Amino acid sequence: MQAKECILQRRSIRRYRSQKLLDEVIEQIVEGARFAPSWANTKAIRYICIQDGALKNAIGACCVEHNQQVVEQAPALFAVVGRRGLSGLNRGQPLPYSSHTPEEWLMVDGGIAVQTLCLSAWDLGIGTLIMGGYPLDEVVRLLELPETDTLIALVAAGYPDEKPTAPRRKELQDILQIR
């Protein structure tokens, strides 16, 4: 699949077939995602793929109701995690001229990584949903993340059991300025 085709066709998927993701498929998804650019190539992003039913359901139970249903149905749930103290720093020190704080740079890196993960999955026929609506502290506790890590996003993943139409987009002239 060509990059533009992948970008234009990718959709947020909320219903999944029960088919489990093979370890090889998970590895292929993350293999693509690991090429996401990051601050000074620090690669502060890590991925946890949760397929264990008990842990997945415990995380799902924390979510808002509509996401609970997504997590229950999805064969896999990715936790995209950022390692603190890498992005936005130079030899461990903030740059005096940086436009963002290290925490903000980590979120920039994380956002790029999440989108790259979703496109990598879609290229393999795997649908994803980037989720909000969960208590961050509780999910971090369930994942047993060390203090050095921060949860950036939860992404449900699996073989789609729906074909959503493309949502309406703003017109190009409404979002672009060329000066």
At 12 the three-state DSSP class reads strand
Residue 72 scores a pLDDT above 90 = yes
H-state helical runs in the chain = 3-9, 23-33, 53-62, 65-73, 102-123, 136-143, 172-175
User: What does DSSP say about strands 149-158 and 127-131: parallel, antiparallel, or unpaired?
Assistant: antiparallel
If you average pLDDT over each of 19-23, 91-95, 164-168, which comes out highest?
A: 19-23
Q: Cα separations (Å) of 154 from 62, 98, 101, 119?
A: 12, 28, 23, 15
Q: Where are the domains of the chain?
A: 3-175
Average pLDDT of the residues in 105-127: 96
Name the band, by pLDDT with cuts 50, 70 and 90, for residue 62.
Answer: very high
- Determine the average pLDDT of the residues in 115-120: 97
Q: Could you say which DSSP state residue 91 is in?
A: T
Element holding 57 (H helix, E strand)? helix 53-62
More confident residue, 103 or 35: 35
DSSP assignment string, 118-137: HHHHHHTT-EEEEE--S-HH
Confidence grade of residue 98 (pLDDT, cut at 50, 70, 90): confident
Domain 3-175, CATH: 3.40.109.10
| pTM for the whole structure | 0.92
For residue 91, pLDDT beyond 80? no
